[in-house]
Amino acid sequence: MKLAQRLLIGYYKTKLRTIALVSPGKAAREAFDIFCTPFSEKAPKKPPPAFHGSEKLSFEMDGATIRGFRFNPSKPNGRKILVVHGFRSYSYKFEAYFLALRQEGFEVIAFDAPAHGLSSGKRINAYIYKRVIEQIEKHYGPFYGVMGHSFGGLSASLAFEGFTDRSNRKLVLIAPAETETAIDNFFTITRLNEHVRRSFTNMVNKLSEYPISYFSVGRAVKTLDSPVLWIHDKHDVICPFADVKPLLSLDLPHVTFHVTEGLGHNKIYREEKIRRQIVQFFADGIS
């Protein structure tokens, strides 16, 4: 963790705990605001080479401009793939996937989430990101395949759950996040008490009209009838493998798990063998 990040965490931890002494409810509101703020780096102004020939896309949602890209193949196979980045990330980082998928004939689309990359906005959470993906599906779909990394995997699974005719679609999850684990980690770092935690939980339920347990990739995947490829590393410290273990014993017929060792949370999606496996997963069955 960079020094600036440690200092920022220290500042907010002190601020939240001070507020909590006076008002747990106010501390919960402040905590939720911080939890939903990525404090992310913006995408470089100069796009990677693969983006030079892409079509720029955008739409408005809740006062934010959501910006993205479309990559058209030279020999279309008639199928579309949506690539969904994670927390504090952006579409440029998945350049290699756009090239590989386009080469297989797929039209590939990617958008930067609100408060990320080239998109505007200040806040993001799984509920917001789910709704963004639903709008992308409405405007630019239907998507034959969706691929999501980390927080993007969680949000993609929630949106995918509501897609029509799911049996003819495919979902790839790369080290997807679990909301309850992320909240647990947040409260461990901030050391806020249970009164604040309860207020935080109640606020999430009220704002989204869903319990926190709804925002679970494990829950969503169990409801699907689509082929799912789930890739996760045993030593992932961001989205721990412990969250995946309960699902491994369920023998879900539509889910293929690929467990790696030593690739961690970010190297896993950059690994060439993983990329080839994902592209092949999408390509299988297309004549």
Q: Evaluate whether residue 43 is within a structural domain.
A: no
Structure tokens at 129: 């990101």
- CA-based nearest residue to 112, from 59, 176, 157: 59
Same domain, 5 and 129: no
Structure tokens at 11: 């500042």
Do you know the residue count of the chain? 287
Structure tokens at 132: 């963004």
- CA-based nearest residue to 154, from 113, 185, 192: 113
pLDDT at 127: 96
175, 265 Cβ separation under 8 angstroms: yes
Least reliable range by pLDDT among 21-25, 28-32, 235-239: 21-25
Q: Evaluate whether residue 40 is within a structural domain.
A: no
Which residues in 188-205 are b (16+ Cβ under 10 Å) and which e?
Answer: eebebeeebbebbbeebe
Q: What value does the mean pLDDT take over residues 255-264?
A: 97
Same domain, 19 and 55: no
Same domain, 161 and 223: yes
Same domain, 80 and 115: yes
- The 10 Å Cβ neighbour count of residue 45 is 6
Please, which pLDDT band fits residue 11 given cuts at 50, 70 and 90? low
Counting the structural domains of the chain, the total is 2
Q: Under 8 Å CB-to-CB from 47, ≥6 apart: which residues?
A: 92
What is the Rg, in whole angstroms, of the alpha carbon atoms belonging to the chain?
A: 19
Q: How far apart are CA 227 and CA 168, in angstroms?
A: 9
Q: Evaluate whether residue 142 is within a structural domain.
A: yes
Print the domain residue range for 4: 1-35+179-214
Instruction: Summarize pLDDT for 191-234 with one digit per residue, the tens.
Output: 888 999 999 999 999 989 999 999 999 999 999 999 999 999 99
Same domain, 120 and 233: yes
Structure tokens at 189: 């770092």
**Strand runs labelled E in the chain:** 55-61, 64-71, 80-84, 107-111, 145-149, 170-174, 228-233, 255-260
Same domain, 196 and 116: no
Same domain, 67 and 30: no
Q: CA neighbours within 13 Å on the CB side: how many for 119?
A: 34
- CA-based nearest residue to 135, from 188, 180, 68: 68
Instruction: Summarize pLDDT for 156-180 with one digit per residue, the tens.
Output: 999 999 998 888 999 999 999 999 9
Q: Evaluate whether residue 227 is within a structural domain.
A: yes
Same domain, 84 and 186: no
The domain that holds 247 is classified in CATH as 3.40.50.1820
Cα distance from N-terminal residue to C-terminal residue, the chain: 47
pLDDT at 2: 47
Q: Evaluate whether residue 42 is within a structural domain.
A: no
Identity at 140, one-letter amino acid code: Y
Q: How far apart are CA 229 and CA 274, in angstroms?
A: 11
Phi-psi region of 262 (alpha: psi -120 to 50; beta: other; left: phi over 0): left
- The 10 Å Cβ neighbour count of residue 117 is 23
Answer whether residue 98 shows pLDDT above 80. yes
Q: Evaluate whether residue 44 is within a structural domain.
A: no
Identity at 177, one-letter amino acid code: A
Same domain, 140 and 195: no
Same domain, 227 and 162: yes
Q: Evaluate whether residue 41 is within a structural domain.
A: no
Same domain, 141 and 268: yes
Q: Evaluate whether residue 194 is within a structural domain.
A: yes
Same domain, 228 and 190: no
| Of the residues 164, 198, 214, the one at which a domain ends | 214
Structure tokens at 218: 């494990």
